[in-house]
Amino acid sequence: MRAMVLNTPRTPLRETDLPVPAVGPEQVLVKVHACGVCRTDLHVVDGELTEPKLPLVPGHEIVGTVAAKGERVERLPLGQRVGVPWLGFTCGVCLYCRAGRENLCATARFTGYQIDGGYAEYTAADQRYCFPLPEGYTDAEAAPLLCAGLIGYRSLVMAGDGRRLGIYGFGAAAHIIAQVARHQGREVYAFTRAGDVEAQRFARELGAAWAGDSEARPPDELDAAILFAPVGSLVPRALAAVARGGTVVCAGIHMSDIPAFPYHLLWGERTVRSVANLTRRDGDEFLALAPQVPVRTTVEPFPLAQANEALSRLRSGRIRGAAVLVTDAATAA
C-alpha cells in the first residue's frame, strides 16, 4: 500500500510502499478513504511532540471502511464506515480509566503518534476505539469531525455554559465549534491572526457576532474563551478579555511558552485549564450531536501524495476550514 511516512522529525514525509498491516484479534483493517490533517500532525512532524514511533504514518482523523477484522471483532461488520480518532488504546484498569477519564490514562496510546495512522491506503485500528459515522457527510467532510470536532467539543464543554464565547484561532476546530455554540444559543467572538480578513469573514459567515485580530479587545466581556491557536501569549490576552469567573481553555496538545502576567488577570476567580485528548464518550456525544446542529464542515481536499503540501499550507494558516487527504476510495456522497 501507499503511505506517507515520517522517518525523522523536521524532514518531509516520504511516499513509501508498505505492506498492508496485519490485524490482531481486537483490530479491524480499515481501507482509508479520507484522513484529516490536524495541527497535532504538524507538532509531530515539526518535532514539538517528542515521542512518536519512528518511522511513523501520521494521521488521526481517519474515515474508511472495515476491510478485514480480527477474530474477536463483533461490533463492526465488514464494509461498515468507521472513524478512527486520536485515542487509540487505553489500559482500562487504572484509576483514570475506571473513573471515565480514559483521556488521562498514563499508558494510553495515540493514533498517528504511537500507532500508525491514516496517511495511507490502509490502517489497523482497535475496534473498541472506532466510531460508526453519521450519514449525510462525505468521507472528506466527516474526517475533521474526528479530532477538530471531537476535541473541540470537549473544549466547549470545559468552557462551561456562558453565553459569550471567544475562540482564538479560526481553523478546523473553530469552524466546527462555532456552529455548535451558535446552535446552543451562544454568541461567538472570533479572534484570528492580525490582518487575516479572510478568516474573519469566514467566522462571520458561520455566525460569529464579532471577528477581529487576536490583539484586539472584543466589544463585550467574554464569559469564556477557547484557545485553538498554539500561542502561549494569547493566554494573558484571553484572560484580559473574560469576565470575572470566566474560563480560558487551552485546547491544543502543544503551546509555545505562556509569558508571565500580572495576578490581577487571573484574580476574580478566572480559570485557565487545558484539555487533553478525548474519551470515547466525547465521541459518542459529539457524533450524535453533529448531524442535529447540523454541523457543516468546510474542507480542502488533497491527494494522499500531497500530504507535505497540506501540512505546509496548514503551518502558514492558508487553509479554509480543514485540510483532508483523500485516497481513490473516497466517496463523493
Closer residue to Zn ion (CB): 97 or 225: 97
Closer residue to Zn ion (CB): 94 or 157: 94
Shortest distance in whole angstroms from residue 327 CB to Zn ion: 19
Shortest distance in whole angstroms from residue 218 CB to Zn ion: 27
**Grid cell locating 266:** 487571573
Closer residue to Zn ion (CB): 200 or 279: 279
CB 130 within 8 A of CB 83: yes
Closer residue to Zn ion (CB): 45 or 265: 45
State in Å, rounded, how far the first CA of the chain is from the last one: 24
Separation CA 173–CA 99 (nearest Å): 27
CB 225 within 8 A of CB 242: yes
Helix/strand/coil (H/E/C) assignment for every residue in 236-285: HHHHHHEEEEEEEEECCCCCCCCCCCCHHHCCCCCEEEECCCCCHHHHHH
Shortest distance in whole angstroms from residue 194 CB to Zn ion: 25
Shortest distance in whole angstroms from residue 158 CB to Zn ion: 16
Shortest distance in whole angstroms from residue 314 CB to Zn ion: 11
Shortest distance in whole angstroms from residue 91 CB to Zn ion: 3
Closer residue to Zn ion (CB): 38 or 140: 38
Closer residue to Zn ion (CB): 145 or 241: 145
- Chain residues binding Zn ion by CB under 5 A are 38, 40, 90-91, 94, 97, 105, 147
Closer residue to Zn ion (CB): 107 or 256: 107
**Grid cell locating 96:** 483514570
> Would you tell me how many other CB atoms lie within 10 Å of the CB of residue 6?
24
Q: How far is it between the farthest Cα atoms of the chain?
A: 59
Q: What CA–CA distances, in Å, run from 258 to 137, 248, 268, 308?
A: 38, 13, 20, 29
Shortest distance in whole angstroms from residue 266 CB to Zn ion: 28
Shortest distance in whole angstroms from residue 258 CB to Zn ion: 21
**Grid cell locating 88:** 487509540
CB 278 within 8 A of CB 103: yes
Say how many residues make up the chain. 333
Closer residue to Zn ion (CB): 81 or 154: 154
Helical residues (DSSP H) of 109-171, grouped into ranges: 139-142, 148-158
